[in-house]
Amino acid sequence: MMHPRLISHKTPEMRLLTSIPAVRPTFARQRILSHVTARSRLPFTATRQFAMKRKAVWYEREPKNAKNAKNAKKAESPVTTDKLPEYHETPPKKDKDGEIIWPAPKDQMEAARNFIRECVAASKPTLIIPDKDVDGLTSGAILRKTLILMGLDPELISAYVMKKGLNVHDEESRRDMASYKPSFIFVLDQGSRESPPLIDEPHRALVIDHHYAEEKDHPKDATFVTACNSPPVATSSLLTYLICRDLHPDIEETCNWLCAMGVHGDLGNAIKWEPPFPDFKAMFKKYTKKGINSAVSFINAPRRTAAYDVPGAWEALAAASAPIDIMKNESLGAARKEVNEEVRKHARVPPRLSLDGRIAVIRIKSEYQIHQVIATRWAGHLTSPKLEVILVANSGYLPGLRQGPPVNIIEILRKEALRAKDPTLTKRLGESFARGHKEASGGVVPKAEFEELMEVLFVRNKAPAFPRQRQKPRK
């Protein structure tokens, strides 16, 4: 299979794709988000390049001194009249009374809090289903600590992490979830779509998410809270933290570092912790940003390895009381080294451009889930003004897996697929071809359909000659 961050259909061989926004080097901020991928398809990741009108960009040069002005080395500094807004400065939406809707609609936030209170009061088997990345796992850890602080017996709490290439809608996952015999189910950061109940047996479910979703995109009868329509969009960990924070006086101090890990894992470590984001100055002084960011890389590593030891990452995170506990974990450290070496092996595979220059395609073959990392790295290096999407296809991530529900890659790829001579291509690519985030989407598609999509894009056979970034002058 190919593992892009696109998804689809039946086939013995598929590819994983990953697509992410290519960010110009002049931009101070880069927002990369990822989501669950379905099985039996090509893993891919697609990244969108942020578009920005720039009135002027020039370089100011000053000689070291007036005497040797002609021979002096010139110091160059880019100057631009336009500035990309910081993430937290994204204009929020307001309700009819003029109040800001953040991090999610008030009625959804209160419904989620009531659900948690009722879960604790019922004192029945509870199942937490977090996504495999740092944002998902920290969301689950925040919720688990909240339930325990509120009085739920830890013995009643179980966690289920999806198997490689599966999602909550797969029959195998449904059977696994049902085996816990839960009365309450929490689904965190998994993405959501309209579907039957999570399991057939009687239960109550709460979905906490921030991926793009329509109003009906949740399991039948589930309570649903989403940040996707309330900019600046909160990550699932931040949304979970803000839901739980006021439910017990110790949650803020116990869970603030977990929230920071999740946010940095999804939005990057350059994010500014300014309103409406919570004030974490004291927390960062206690644990340091370096400590938070190191813990992020440790927790992220197991899901990227061929062994896919996400349960190990969850156990380490659930047991930790501070970032240092995570960094002392030897198995997480070993996984981190493995992933770094695998990324190094594939980091220089050259991209190939579509005929119109809007999409760059990179093909790799690795059992490791490194397609997102490769896409993110190239997003910072490719400087073509036409480039809008970087798509990384990994044919080695899910070889030979069975059919699973399909995935999407929102607007650009949907439109490109509609250009196919065969009008059935979009349908065959599946529901998963363009879901997740508008800025970063992914999934798994059948190899045959992927190759057909490449023909539609007119991807060039030769790697393009991209202009190199300007090097800083040597002193």
Output the DSSP codes for 373-402: HHHHHHHTT---TT--EEEEEETTSSTT--
Structure tokens at 451: 């190759």
Which pLDDT belongs to residue 260? Answer: 99
User: pLDDT, tens digit, for every residue of 133-157?
Assistant: 999 999 999 999 999 999 999 999 9
**Proportion of the chain above pLDDT 70, given as a percent:** 69
* Structural domain contains residue 456: no
Give the best-scoring range by mean pLDDT among 78-87, 206-215, 456-465: 206-215
Query: Do residues 445 and 41 make contact, with C-beta atoms less than 8 angstroms apart?
Result: yes
Which pLDDT belongs to residue 416? Answer: 64
pLDDT at 405 over 90: no
What is the DSSP-derived secondary structure letter of residue 178?
A: H
pLDDT at 100 over 50: yes
* Structural domain contains residue 87: no
Task: Summarize the confidence of residues 90-118 as an average pLDDT.
Answer: 97
* Structural domain contains residue 156: yes
Round the average pLDDT of the chain to a whole number and report it.
Answer: 80
pLDDT at 335 over 70: yes
Pairing relationship of beta strands 204-209 and 223-226 according to DSSP bridges: parallel
3-state secondary structure 5-37: ECCCCCCCCEEEEEEECCCCCCCCCCCCCCCCC
Q: Is 285 exposed, middle or buried (0-12, 13-18, 19+ CB in 10 A)?
A: exposed
More confident residue, 378 or 67: 378
CA dihedral 435, 441, 447, 449 (to 10 degrees): 50
Q: Is 51 exposed, middle or buried (0-12, 13-18, 19+ CB in 10 A)?
A: exposed
* Structural domain contains residue 23: no
Q: List beta partners, residue 362.
A: 392
* Structural domain contains residue 132: yes
Which pLDDT belongs to residue 422? Answer: 77
Measured CA to CA, the distance from residue 180 to residue 193 in angstroms comes to: 23
Q: List beta partners, residue 45.
A: 392, 442
Measured CA to CA, the distance from residue 265 to residue 257 in angstroms comes to: 12
* Structural domain contains residue 176: yes
Q: Which residue has the tokens 């290519």?
A: 22
Which pLDDT belongs to residue 276? Answer: 97
Task: Summarize the confidence of residues 454-475 as an average pLDDT.
Answer: 55
Domain of 118?
Answer: 106-267
**Proportion of the chain above pLDDT 90, given as a percent:** 58
Measured CA to CA, the distance from residue 162 to residue 174 in angstroms comes to: 10
More confident residue, 467 or 449: 449
pLDDT at 272 over 70: yes
Measured CA to CA, the distance from residue 439 to residue 409 in angstroms comes to: 9
Q: What are phi and psi of 17, to 5 degrees?
A: -115, 150
Nearest to 224 by CA among 238, 210, 237: 210
Question: For residue 445, what pLDDT band results from cuts at 50, 70 and 90?
Answer: low
Q: Which residue has the tokens 């015999």?
A: 181
Structure tokens at 234: 């909160």
* Structural domain contains residue 253: yes
pLDDT at 400 over 80: no
The alpha carbon of 404 is separated from its chain's Cα centroid by a whole number of angstroms, namely 20
pTM: 0.71
Which pLDDT belongs to residue 34? Answer: 29
Measured CA to CA, the distance from residue 15 to residue 446 in angstroms comes to: 6
Measured CA to CA, the distance from residue 432 to residue 445 in angstroms comes to: 8
Which pLDDT belongs to residue 423? Answer: 75
Question: For residue 117, what pLDDT band results from cuts at 50, 70 and 90?
Answer: very high
Number of domains in the chain: 1
CATH number at residue 205: 3.90.1640.30
Which pLDDT belongs to residue 409? Answer: 42
Nearest to 108 by CA among 242, 237, 203: 242
Structure tokens at 306: 């061929």
Q: What are phi and psi of 411, to 5 degrees?
A: -50, -55
Which pLDDT belongs to residue 72? Answer: 43
* Structural domain contains residue 471: no
Structure tokens at 60: 């100011």
Question: For residue 280, what pLDDT band results from cuts at 50, 70 and 90?
Answer: very high
Output the DSSP codes for 309-340: -HHHHHHHHHH-SSHHHHHT-HHHHHHHHHHH
More confident residue, 448 or 172: 172
User: Among 200-204, 311-315, 415-419, 460-464, where is mean pLDDT lowest?
Assistant: 460-464
